[in-house]
Chains A and B, each alone.
Chain A
Amino acid sequence: NAGVTQTPKFQVLKTGQSMTLQCAQDMNHNSMYWYRQDPGMGLRLIYYSASEGTTDKGEVPNGYNVSRLNKREFSLRLESAAPSQTSVYFCASSPMGTVGYEQYFGPGTRLTVT
């Protein structure tokens, strides 16, 4: 049982490049989330998917797109990376009420945009 996995672990992009962060969970959870963490800023929600087939904006969605590919996978895409998107990105999943409301986080992707 791997829990929540994220790829890649590290990435360096140049301004204007695009990339997709991958996330998968094997806990059969309904809900999945993407957060970014900047120093001293805590976790800010980018997008979330309450259930397969739905996605919603969080606090800081600008510059990002998401795809809930199936129940297991939720990807985050940066179409044209900017230095302001340098951050650590965490994916999380949650059973959301069926068992509990806690979220299970992946190990994170450290992204640097130069």
Chain B
Amino acid sequence: DQQVKQNSPSLSVQEGRISILNCDYTNSMFDYFLWYKKYPAEGPTFLISISSIKDKNEDGRFTVFLNKSAKHLSLHIVPSQPGDSAVYFCAARSANAGKSTFGDGTTLTVKP
């Protein structure tokens, strides 16, 4: 039973346009959500997070939206740049849990 799902394995957008990456979860106990970015041959790096008490968090070009009733979150990148081309992982954790659960990732390609 995969509790965090990223249903789109890949996404391709033009430079300057918006990239929207989606993530769904099934565990209603999850209360904190994170996005990580991973370049080839490197470890993932933390990008942005959101607590369940919020529905939006913004950091520069990156915004994460949380819809708790739909158990859905999304990462918006505006404007997209070629350097954003990477694999993006969604992760979720519940209160007092010592670990996060990761999705399988979405490969974003931003074309110049």
Q: Which B residues lie within 8 Å of A4 (CB)? A: 43
CB atoms of B99 and A58 under 8 A apart: yes
CB <8 Å contact, B103 and A108? no
In the bound complex, what is the Cα–Cα distance between A35 and B43 (angstroms)?
11
Chain B residues with CB below 8 A from A107, complex form: 41-43
Given A41-B104, A42-B104; A104-B98 close (CB under 8 Å): no
Question: A79 at interface (Cβ–Cβ under 8 A)?
Answer: no
Per DSSP, are chain B's interface residues mostly helix, strand or loop, or mixed? Answer: loop
Are A50 and B98 in contact (CB-based, < 8 A)?
yes
Which residue numbers of B lie inside 8 Å of A, CB to CB? 6, 9, 32, 34, 36, 41-46, 49, 89, 93, 98-105
A40 to B103, CA, bound (A): 10
**A47 CB → nearest B CB, Å:** 10
A-B contact pairs, 10 of them (CB 8 A): A40-B9, A40-B104, A42-B89, A42-B102, A42-B103, A43-B102, A90-B44, A92-B43, A103-B34, A105-B44
If the complex has contacts A42-B89, A43-B89, A108-B43, are A101 and B100 also in contact, measured as CB distance less than 8 A? yes
The answer to whether A102 touches B98, judged by C-beta atoms less than 8 angstroms apart, is no
Q: A42, A44, A50 — which one has the most chain B CB atoms within 10 A of its CB?
A: A42
Find chain A residues with CB under 8 A from B9 CB: 40
Q: Which residues of A contact B44 (CB under 8 A)?
A: 43, 90, 103, 105
**What CA separation (Å) do A74 and B1 show in the bound complex?**
28
| Interface contact B43-A106, CB-CB below 8 Å | yes
**Is A26 an interface position by the 8 A CB rule?**
no
